[in-house]
Amino acid sequence: MSAQIIDDKAQRTLVSCSSLELTGLTGDKKAIARAVGLELAKRALSNKIESAVFDRGRFLYHGRVKALAEGIREGGLHV
């Protein structure tokens, strides 16, 4: 699972996070997605990004995508 925060106007990635970067992740795929969301929110807040728009692309809002969004919100980022 990977996620990133992109500035559409400047066309550059501001913050990103992947489950491959995080060590010690255990649990099912939803738990890993939630952990990625928490870490992404932490990195965004440390870069003074307080809100973002959640673009799920072609993926339905359930399962891992929903867990990622919940992790981002739980981490303190407004989406």
Is the pLDDT at 72 greater than 90? The verdict is yes
What tokens appear for 71 in the block? 């992790």
Q: Which residues of 15-52 are buried (b: 16+ CB within 10 A; e: fewer)?
A: bebeeeeeeeeeeeebebbbbbbbbbbbbbeeeebeeb
pLDDT, position 26: 86
The whole-number pLDDT of residue 70 equals 97
Strand partners, 12: 7
Fold category of 2-74 in CATH: Nucleotidyltransferase; domain 5 (3.30.420)
pTM of the model: 0.92
Q: Higher-confidence residue: 24 or 74?
A: 74
CB 17 within 8 A of CB 46: no
Write the pLDDT tens digit of every residue in 2-54.
999 999 999 999 999 999 999 888 889 999 999 999 999 999 999 999 999 99
